[in-house]
């Protein structure tokens, strides 16, 4: 159990896909499409057309996955987490998150990856310092205190 005199303050964590990740994905998609398109025009080989169609199918799947990423606000009140979804059909209308159901997937100082269990289903949330700049230290303390809390008998 987290010591009461060291418990982190209440925080609101904006959860949304990062714009830098979107730019990188769009750059790869654009370069790949341009190269395959050039191959289709420059070569009469039917393999390029199949590769282009496969690539466009992969891009469509990536777009659908991007649209399904969770967006909303994860709130810590000092004792429990609460999720308020915004615009993501995958996690709408779910709001109860047990503190023990949050684990840290990665921590790169400017971003946190968290696995959060909501109603028995696990979601990956990415929280970036640029999304929560004013209270980044409080966000990190809340995530670590709840993810690493030890239950005492």
Q: What are phi and psi of 147, to 5 degrees?
A: -75, -30
**Is the pLDDT score of 92 beyond 50?**
no
Q: What is the pLDDT of residues 59-90, one digit of tens each?
A: 898 888 877 777 778 888 877 777 777 754 44
pLDDT digits (tens, 9 = 90+) for 31-40: 988 888 888 8
13 near 76, Cβ under 8 Å?
yes
Q: Tell me which of 22-31, 62-71, 94-103 is least confident.
A: 94-103
pTM of the complete model: 0.61
3-state secondary structure 71-103: CEEEEECCCCEEEEECCCCCCCCCCEECHHHEE
Whether residue 126 contacts residue 111, with contact meaning beta carbons closer than 8 Å, is answered with: yes
């Amino acid at each position: 159990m987290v010591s009461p005199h060291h418990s982190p303050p209440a925080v609101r964590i904006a959860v949304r896909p990062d714009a830098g990740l979107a730019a990188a994905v769009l750059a790869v998609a654009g370069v790949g499409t341009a190269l395959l398109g050039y191959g289709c025009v420059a070569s009469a080989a039917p393999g390029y057309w199949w590769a282009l169609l496969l690539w466009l199918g992969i891009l469509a799947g990536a777009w659908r996955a991007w649209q399904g990423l969770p967006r909303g606000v994860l709130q810590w009140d000092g004792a429990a987490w609460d999720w308020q979804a915004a615009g993501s059909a995958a996690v709408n209308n779910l709001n109860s998150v047990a503190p023990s159901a949050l684990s840290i997937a990665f921590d790169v100082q400017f971003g946190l990856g968290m696995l959060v269990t909501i109603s028995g289903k696990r979601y990956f949330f990415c929280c970036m310092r640029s999304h929560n700049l004013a209270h980044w230290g409080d966000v990190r303390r809340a995530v670590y205190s709840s993810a690493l809390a030890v239950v005492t008998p």
